[in-house]
Structure 1
Amino acid sequence: MDSPGQVPLIERFKSVIPFWAHPFVSDIKDVSPYGNCGFRAVAVGLGLTQKHWPDVRQALINEMDTHETFWRLHFDREIDGRYDLWRSELDWFNTVKPAPNTHWFHVPPHGHLVAQTYGCVLINLHGTDNQSYFPTRDGPNQLPDIPVIAIGNVGGNHWIYVKLEGDFPMPWPVSNWARYAQLDALEWQKMEDEVEMEIEHEQAQEQGQVPGPVEGDDILAGYQYL
């Protein structure tokens, strides 16, 4: 809660938090900076304290090492050598010195890793450029009660945790997610598509209209995101 006379956090970070999200924001945690803020924000979203940022870094490293073939295939397919680069960025555990920008939390790569490592949906809020990261190997059958974590990027060099509650809209999946996702994981899109189509149908009925079928074979066809 903001103290009397303090600028409300949602007003302070209005350039980060899109207008549609305002009614669903129940809390904002402006974590400590010093190069580990992205990992701190994720830790808070997981129900830990921000001091657990080293645990988040280690968990993402473990995911990359355990499933190296999977991640190397996808990261290096975009640009050769990216797997080693993203892996090295995670390797910083100095609790005294600030992490240099070569060890900061970066999306999309670390966003994909968080979603798969923790079996969650990670939402990146950044003004008008908002993205969702779904797990890349596990689908709804493996993760029936998937949590949602939202973090916001402030000025390109700081991250905050944004707690969203209620039936908030889901931003469009990050563009390269479908290229990474395995068959089970692609069910996330189908499930979300069904939900959005149901909402569209209910809204049309309220207006005395009945929407037609979604056309096209593309899995993204008719996918109603923000």
Structure 2
Amino acid sequence: MQRGRQPSQSSQRSSRQQSQSSQHSFKTQFPTYIRLYIEDIVDVVVDGNCGFRTIAALLGWTEESWALVRSQLDKEIGLHKDVYSNVFDDNVESVRNSLKISKLGAQGKDKWMSLPDLGYVIATLYNVILVSLSRNLNMTFFPLNKSPSKETFVHSLLAIGFVNENHWVQIKLKSDCPLPPTSQKWKDFCSDTTKSWEVAYMQHV
């Protein structure tokens, strides 16, 4: 039986070096104060679904579950239109259209995951803290209508990074990492029971 050739040590070393180079390039695009708290950066497939791939992977699913994430986010918005209409400045249908796709595979820019709008939905639907890092938007998203549990910060913090102005990657942060600020919109539209999020994690913000 013929077997495929095993990668040589040199090719494996080259692959590791390329990965380290990419990680360094990505890391330099995030705020200086937070770089020391980044333990790892994990890339995903580049196909216009990368943002949803990062969320799927960070939730513990395979990144190929990106279509399910799209569908669940759209359903969440549909079920709570009144809430998200305020958060999105009455732009609900535009956000929902960005989630809906006519075919699997690569997607155009109009179907990319967009923040801050979808950040509120992701945090609320999955009851997680979502941290988004980039050159221009560094923000922490808490759920809009769910109270924090004692172990939420340890077990349910998802961190993502927008790099090269066109791609999302997964980020693993250290537990003592300072968090970017929340938005005024979250403070304006979160329920009374969820305002304790910011209090609970004030030492991180």
Same topology, TM > 0.5: yes
Q: Is the 8 A contact 1:131 1:172 kept in 2?
A: yes
SS at match of 1:16: coil
Instruction: Note closer, same or farther for the CA distance 1:157–1:179 as it changes in structure 2 (3 Å cut).
Output: same
User: 1:132 is matched with which residue: 130, 135, 140?
Assistant: 140
TM-score (norm 2): 0.83
Give the equivalent residue in structure 1 for 2:185.
176
**RMSD (Å), alpha carbons:** 2.1
Q: 1:157 aligns with which of 141, 161, 166?
A: 166
For 1:111-126, list aligned pairs within 5 A: 111-126=119-134
SS at match of 2:172: strand
Q: Tell me the CA shift for residue 134 of structure 1.
A: 0.6
Q: 1:5 to 1:156 in 2, by over 3 A?
A: closer
**Distance of aligned partners of 1:183 and 1:101 in 2 relative to their CA distance in 1, 3 Å threshold:** same
8 A Cα contact 2:87 2:117, kept in partner: no
Report what 2:53 is aligned to: 40
Contiguous gaps of at least 5 residues in structure 1: 197-224
Alignment check: 8 A CA contact 1:126 1:152 kept:
yes
| Maintained 8 Å contact 2:86/2:189 | no
Of all paired residues, the percent bearing the same amino acid is 29
Per-residue CA deviations over 1:178-223 (Å, capped at 9, x if unaligned) read 1221111111112223x36xxxxxxxxxxxxxxxxxxxxxxxxxxx
Q: Pick from 23, 30, 33 the counterpart of residue 36 of structure 2.
A: 23
User: Which one has the bigger helix percentage?
Assistant: 2
Q: Which amino acid aligns with 1:68?
A: K
Q: Which residue of 1 is the match for residue 116 of structure 2?
A: 108
Q: Deviations over 1:13-61 (max 9, x none)?
A: 1332333333332221111111101101111111112101011111111
Note the 1:31-110 alignment, pairs <5 A.
Answer: 31-75=44-88, 78=89, 80=90, 82-92=91-101, 94-96=103-105, 98-110=106-118
Specify the code of the residue in structure 2 equivalent to 1:150: A
Aligned-partner Cα distance in 1 for 2:177–2:49: 28
Q: Distance in 2 between matches of 1:19 and 1:74?
A: 30
Q: 1:145 and 2:151 equivalent? A: yes
**Runs of 4+ deviating beyond 3 Å:** 1-5, 7-10
Q: What secondary structure sits across from 1:168 in the alignment?
A: coil
Cα gap change, 1:4 to 1:103, in 2 (>3 Å): closer
Contact 1:120 1:134 survives alignment (8 Å): yes
Number of aligned residue pairs: give it.
Answer: 189
Question: With structure 1 as the length reference, what TM-score do the two structures score?
Answer: 0.76
